[in-house]
Structure 1
Amino acid sequence: MQKFEFEVPDDVARRLTNETVEVELQPDELVMRSQAATKLVPVIKIWWYLLPAVLLGSLIFAQQLATGVEQIPLLGRGNSIGNMVTVLGSLCSWVIFIGAFIAQKRHHQAGARQFTWRMFIPVAIAVGIVLMVTEFTIFWTIDQMFVGAQFDIYTSIILITVCFAIMNYMMINLGLTISPAIMINLMTIMMLGGVVLSMLTNGNRDWWRHNFSYLGTQRSGAAWQFNLTLILTGLLMMALTDYLFVNLRHRFPTKGVLLTRMLMYFEATCLMGVGLFPNNDRFHWLHDQIAMWLVYGLLLIIIVIRWSMPMLGHQFIHLSDAIGGVMAIEYIGFQYIHYLSLTAFELLSFGLALAWILVFFQNLESLIDPLPASFMTHLKPVPITEFNQTSNE
């Protein structure tokens, strides 16, 4: 066997651990991979997701036979394929996700080990809501294409069982591979999906003539979806802030980091407050005040971030300045020039704020978990005698 040695930079050497690595030689590259990394690829046994799906599908089949049902509609009130998959399937796969997450957390395995136990509840709630909203949106969209579609009981049960199995597999995979990056994506899906779903199902095509907050009022047919989206997004945002800044504190124990953390908590609280106090007659004044605090808080973070967290780099600071400048210009255009309508102002502010928060969280994650190192080196063959002599010493 031929021995080789190569040099690595000091910062890379500090990140290396004394463990066995897997080496893969490809036509144009040499890949060295830690054995711990290969364990992150989940091995999901078929009975983990198929057995619960078959059992639940069998129970539904027996219940439908007992009631004498012959045809099951695709979507609608009562017993429909969409409702059963959305409610029963989501509940079943959500429980499976919780089991997989807890098992990984207890054994300090995979991505679950990165989360604290106090993050478990908001993570579980967020995953459950995202799952239900996704399933409802999918079946609502399919129903718009196949209006009035219905199937016989045998075809329906097969479709339901297949949907159950797919959902179970996805939730097991999520529970075994969950990470802060995935949680950031979930927050994005929850926010955008909930808002878009509220727009589609509110029952008033002219909602945009009022304001963005109209979607959360009693006059909207989708008020609970909109308000719940804001509340849960704020909760998840607070959980992500807690995780990221707790880990960041060990590397950068400065007052600026603590100040930014408190401001992000304030933003998450305001976001939840906008959903808790909708723009109805009863809470109109309070809703408007919280919404303005949300905007002012974000602008304050953008202003102080250059001094409180300079480690984020000039590129992110310049991006923050650009977003803050656009938000200030659109505020002037709405408030003083009256160029923008209230709905346009709120939608633009919502999009810019969401974009900034996502980029901010991604930059924080990169500070905690550095990017893969890339460097130039030279492989040098080591004679067997010299290698053995070095090992003996």
Structure 2
Amino acid sequence: MSTTTSESDPAWAPVPGVTAPAVARTARRSLDDESFALLIGSVAFVVCAIVAVFVFWGREVPIDGRQSLGDFTAIAGAVAAALSFALSRLRPRPDSEGSAPHATATRFWWIDLVALSAAYGTIALLGWIGVATILNHSFLGATVFATPAVVLAAAATALSAYLAFVSGAGLSPRHLSLVLAVFLVVGMVTAMLSSADPQWWQMNLSALGITHDISALTFNLTLIVSGVIVTTIARFGTASLPAWTTTERRRRAVVRAFFILLGVLLACVGIFPVDRFFLLHNTVATGMCVAFAVLVIGLPWLVPTMPTAFTVLGFVYVGVIVVLSLLFAAGIYNLTAVELVSALLIFSWIILFLRNVQNVPHGREEQTGGRS
């Protein structure tokens, strides 16, 4: 009797089971990925240090603001993260089950690669801007000498490259849920910290996107890239849904279509700021909530094998959003509170969907190796 084990997080498609030798190969591949990630981080450190010497040499550098350590580190980290992630997905794997796309999905695989590379780069960009903003508030008026500035920038860039490569090498729907969560938190917090208007919350959440400072760019960019990530989820996160029969394939296509719609509408919220496109901005924002509600309500029919607890939770989320909207209409809550809570519920549902979809039974697919 042979010993088998389940692979919990497949890279691109579900794998029902792998043999013990396959486990050993996976372990060796993980060690290879770790070694390669360290190499990539080292290269990023050296390259960034050389560039930083020319940029910082002979002057004291501010922590945040224009031509600052924070801006340089954010840009360098973003480039390093995007390139490292792309390299992790393109790196040849002789015994990999999922690092290369299926022949029929090559076009979509490349779209996913570009979108996720941009997402990782943006996470690094906004993350280091947020760190610089916090440090600048902690050390008011402080500057950094050239030598430590070079070392700090190079170390941050190396860390960005290393983490992006490691994450890309083991990418799965569950990893993707973490990427979306981190990106949203980093983007929103950075926008709030860098806002020039401390009273922005008295209007609405979209007020962060109408100022003429870095917070507006951060807020709108966060929404746009988040929309791109959600559209990527449309294929990547639904690849493990049952698709044995024609009905199942149609249901999976509907789920994907709704995720694409959510992503497009979310990106449009950032593309069309409320101060210049008031009607269009509000229309796409409302449409996103409606699309989310329809997807949640239709989920028991679209994916009947989804865990009951998750399905019930979705109905609870929709109910909470409806109640909050009624409280806003009654003048009890302001619009910012309603938008923040609604956004938190919608994105937490998407993240939980990515984590629960891997547990969906595949029926006859389990005996045939599944479909993508």
Shorter-chain TM-score: which interval?
0.7 to 0.9
Rg larger in structure: 1
Partner-residue secondary structure (3-state), 1:147: coil
The aligned counterpart of 2:262 is 267
Deviation string for 1:131-156 (max 9, x for gaps)?
11111111211111112222332232
The aligned counterpart of 1:139 is 132
The aligned counterpart of 2:21 is 20
- CA contact under 8 A between 1:244 and 1:368: conserved in structure 2? no
- CA contact under 8 A between 2:61 and 2:146: conserved in structure 1? yes
Deviation of 1:218 (Å): 4.1
Normalised by the length of structure 1, the TM-score is 0.78
Question: What is the alpha-carbon distance in structure 2 between the residues aligned to residue 142 and residue 260 of structure 1?
Answer: 43
The count of residues paired between Structure 1 and Structure 2 equals 343
Deviation string for 1:161-202 (max 9, x for gaps)?
333332332233223222222221111112222122212211
Which of these residues, 254, 268, 271, is aligned with residue 276 of structure 1? 271
Which consecutive segments of 4 or more residues in structure 1 shift more than 6 A?
Answer: 6-9
Partner-residue secondary structure (3-state), 1:278: coil
Partner-residue secondary structure (3-state), 1:208: helix
Which of these residues, 196, 203, 209, is aligned with residue 216 of structure 1? 209
The aligned counterpart of 1:346 is 339
Q: What is the root-mean-square deviation of aligned Cα atoms in Å?
A: 2.9
Deviation string for 1:345-367 (max 9, x for gaps)?
21221111112121122222333
Change (3 A) 1:223 1:172: same
| Pairing 1:81–2:72 present | no
Between 1:120-129 and 1:220-229, the stretch displaced more is 220-229
Alignment of 1:120-269 (within 5 A): 120-218=113-211, 222-251=215-244, 253=246, 254=248, 255-269=250-264
Unaligned runs of 5+ in 1: 22-33, 371-393
Change (3 A) 1:166 1:8: closer
Partner-residue secondary structure (3-state), 2:241: helix
Unaligned runs of 5+ in 2: 6-14, 102-107, 364-372
Alignment of 1:2-13 (within 5 A): none
Question: What is the alpha-carbon distance in structure 2 between the residues aligned to residue 311 and residue 205 of structure 1?
Answer: 47
- CA contact under 8 A between 1:82 and 1:136: conserved in structure 2? yes
The aligned counterpart of 2:295 is 301
Deviation string for 1:86-116 (max 9, x for gaps)?
1124323432332232114x65638644792
Deviation of 1:48 (Å): 3.4
The aligned counterpart of 2:90 is 102
- CA contact under 8 A between 1:86 and 1:132: conserved in structure 2? yes
Which of these residues, 341, 360, 366, is aligned with residue 359 of structure 2? 366
The aligned counterpart of 1:389 is none
Q: Percent identity?
A: 21
- CA contact under 8 A between 2:126 and 2:187: conserved in structure 1? yes
Which of these residues, 24, 30, 33, is aligned with residue 35 of structure 1? 24
Question: What is the alpha-carbon distance in structure 1 between the residues aligned to residue 140 and residue 255 of structure 2?
Answer: 50
Between 1:110-119 and 1:69-78, the stretch displaced more is 110-119
| Pairing 1:56–2:34 present | no
Deviation string for 1:211-251 (max 9, x for gaps)?
11111224676222111111111111011111233442535
Normalised by the length of structure 2, the TM-score is 0.82
The aligned counterpart of 1:380 is none
- CA contact under 8 A between 1:217 and 1:278: conserved in structure 2? yes
Change (3 A) 1:157 1:195: closer
The aligned counterpart of 1:328 is 322
